[in-house]
Amino acid sequence: VFDFEKDIFITRERIKPKYLNYREKLQQHLPDDVIQELKKIGVIAKRSGFRAYLVGGIVRDIVMKRKNLDIDIIVEGDAIELVKKYAKENNYRYYYFEEFMTAQVTLPSGLKIDFATARKEIYEYPGAYPKVRKASIKEDLYRRDFTINTLAIEITEDNFGTLIDFFNGLRDIKDKVIRILHQLSFIEDPVRILRAVRFAGRFGFKIGKMTERLLKLAVDENLLLVAPTGRVNTELSYSFNEEKATEIIYLMNRYKILHQLIPEFVFDDKREEVINRLRDMIVTFEIFFGHKVDRVANYLLALMYHLPLDISYQFLERYHFSNGKQLFKLFFSVKGRFRKIPEKNSELYMIIKNIKKDVLVFLCSYLPAEISERIIYILKKEEERKLLITGNDLKELGLKPSPLFKEILDEIFLKYLDGEIKNRREALEYLKNKYKLNEI
C-alpha cells in the first residue's frame, strides 16, 4: 500500500511547481562565455515563440554547488529549428537527428551543447528504446529517472534564470534522497536500478523508502536481466569510474544487484577487503606511478576473481567488457607465481618485472598486505633507478657501450633492491672495484 502523503509519489497534478530566481547562482556557477551563449539561445527561443530550459545533471549540480559543464537544453517547440538558427547566426558547427528531435552545437572553444525537443517517451516493453512524441517541459521532466534530476532553469529571454521545480527535486536534494517519480519507473526502465545506486553512492544520498521497496521488487523480478546489455555496460562502467565506486558496489551488493548480474556471486570479508584495498591501490598507482588505471576492469576482477575463467568470460562477453577480458586473462596467467613468495626483493622483482601495471594494481589489492607493500616498495625503487646509475655513468667510467651495459645496470639495481648497494656513491664504488675501473 502506498502512503501517498508520506512518500509523496508524484502525480503530475498534485504538486504545485515552485519558481525561484537562480539568475545570480547561474552566473556564479557557469563561465561568462557559456552564460553569453545561453542568453543568445534564449533570445532566439523567444523570437521563435519557443521556450528553452537548462535541464538535468547540470541544474542538480548548480543547486548542489558541484562542478559540471554538461549542457543539456530542452526546447518547448522545436529544438532542431532553434539550433539551425542559433548555429547559422553564429557560424557554429552543428548536427541533428530529425528522428530523435535532438541536436548538438559545438562552440569554437570545443564545448558541446545538447538540445532536444521536449518529449514524452513511450516504452513498449521494459528496457526497450522508447518512442518519442512532442510534449511540454513538465511532461519531459516527468519521464526522468529521479526527482533530483527533474529541475530546470529557464533561459528564454523573458524569463532567464528562473529555476522551476515541478516534482520536489529541491526538497529531495536538501533531504539527500533518491526518489523515482512514479511506481512503474523501474519496470519502465530497469537500468534505473543501477542509476539509483550510482547517484546514492556518489552523493551519499539514501534511497527513499518507497523507491527502495520498488527497487527491491524490480530486482526480485529479475528485470535487470532484460535490460539492454549495452546500457548495463555503460552504467556499470560509469559506476566503477566514480570516485565513490566502492560505496556504489556496497549498495549493489546490499540490493542483490550483483547477485543478479554475476552468476555465483559471493560477497565475503575477503572480497570486501580486496575492494577496499583496490580503491586505495588505484590512487597509489595513479599518484606515485602516473599510471591511468583501468578501474572498470579492476573492479570487475575484484568482483569475479573467485569464478572459473570461462564463467567470467561469459559475463564479460554478454556485457561487452572486452578490456576486462584481457586483465582477467593476464591475472590468471601470473597468479600461480605468487604461491611461494621469495624472501629477497631482487627475486620478487624478477617475478613481477614483466607484469603489466593494471595487473599489479589488482595483485597488490589481492595478495597479503605485506607482499603488496614489498611490491610497491620495489616499484618505487624502480622509479628511482635512473637516479642511481645510468649508461652514461658507465661510459664516463671508461666502459665501451655494449649489451653488457644492461646486465651491469640490472645487477646494480638488484643489489640496490636487496640493500647491498644503498646509493649512487656505493654503486660507483662497487663498479670501480668489480671492473677495476679506477685503473683505466
Residues found near ligand ATP in the complex (CB under 6 A): 56-57, 70, 144-145, 149, 189, 191-192, 195
Q: Of 51 and 192, which CB lies nearer to ligand ATP in the complex structure?
A: 192
Residue nearest ligand ATP (C-beta atom): 57
Q: Of 237 and 246, which CB lies nearer to ligand ATP in the complex structure?
A: 237
At 107, list the grid cell.
562552440
Q: Of 215 and 389, which CB lies nearer to ligand ATP in the complex structure?
A: 215
Nearest approach in angstroms of CB 144 to ligand ATP is: 4
| C-beta pairs of 331-337 under 8 Å, 24+ apart in sequence | 331/301, 331/305, 331/359, 331/362, 331/363, 334/359, 334/363
Beta-bridge partners for 105: 94, 113
Nearest approach in angstroms of CB 360 to ligand ATP is: 29
In the chain, what is the greatest distance between 2 CA atoms, to the nearest angstrom? 96
Helices in 264-418 by DSSP H: which ranges?
Answer: 269-289, 295-304, 309-318, 322-334, 345-352, 357-366, 369-388, 391-396, 404-417
Nearest approach in angstroms of CB 7 to ligand ATP is: 19
Q: Of 191 and 359, which CB lies nearer to ligand ATP in the complex structure?
A: 191
Cβ(223)–Cβ(190) under 8 Å? yes
Beta-strand pair 112-117/131-134: unpaired
Nearest approach in angstroms of CB 335 to ligand ATP is: 34
Q: Determine if residue 256 is left, alpha or beta; phi over 0 gives left, psi from -120 to 50 gives alpha, anything else beta.
A: left
Over its C-alpha atoms, the chain yields an Rg (Å, rounded) of: 28
Closest CA to 177 of 148, 140, 144, 150: 148
Helices in 50-123 by DSSP H: which ranges?
Answer: 57-63, 79-90
Nearest approach in angstroms of CB 259 to ligand ATP is: 22
Q: How far does Cα 81 stand from its chain's mean position? A: 34
Q: Of 76 and 145, which CB lies nearer to ligand ATP in the complex structure?
A: 145
At 403, list the grid cell.
649489451
At 59, list the grid cell.
541544474
Nearest approach in angstroms of CB 273 to ligand ATP is: 28
Beta-bridge partners for 198: none
| C-beta pairs of 37-40 under 8 Å, 24+ apart in sequence | 37/107, 37/113, 38/155, 38/160, 39/155, 39/157, 39/160, 40/86, 40/89, 40/90
Q: Of 192 and 279, which CB lies nearer to ligand ATP in the complex structure?
A: 192
- Phi and psi at 13, nearest 5°, equal -85, -35
Nearest approach in angstroms of CB 149 to ligand ATP is: 3
3-state class (DSSP) for residue 355: coil
Q: Of 37 and 189, which CB lies nearer to ligand ATP in the complex structure?
A: 189
Nearest approach in angstroms of CB 168 to ligand ATP is: 15
Beta-bridge partners for 20: 163
Closest CA to 386 of 432, 424, 348: 424
- Phi and psi at 18, nearest 5°, equal -110, 145
Nearest approach in angstroms of CB 70 to ligand ATP is: 5
Distance in angstroms (rounded) separating the CA atoms of residues 176 and 207: 9
- Cβ neighbours of residue 375 under 8 Å, at least 6 residues apart? 348, 352, 360, 363, 364, 367
Q: Of 70 and 396, which CB lies nearer to ligand ATP in the complex structure?
A: 70
Nearest approach in angstroms of CB 39 to ligand ATP is: 22
Q: Of 57 and 338, which CB lies nearer to ligand ATP in the complex structure?
A: 57
Nearest approach in angstroms of CB 203 to ligand ATP is: 10
Q: Of 192 and 374, which CB lies nearer to ligand ATP in the complex structure?
A: 192
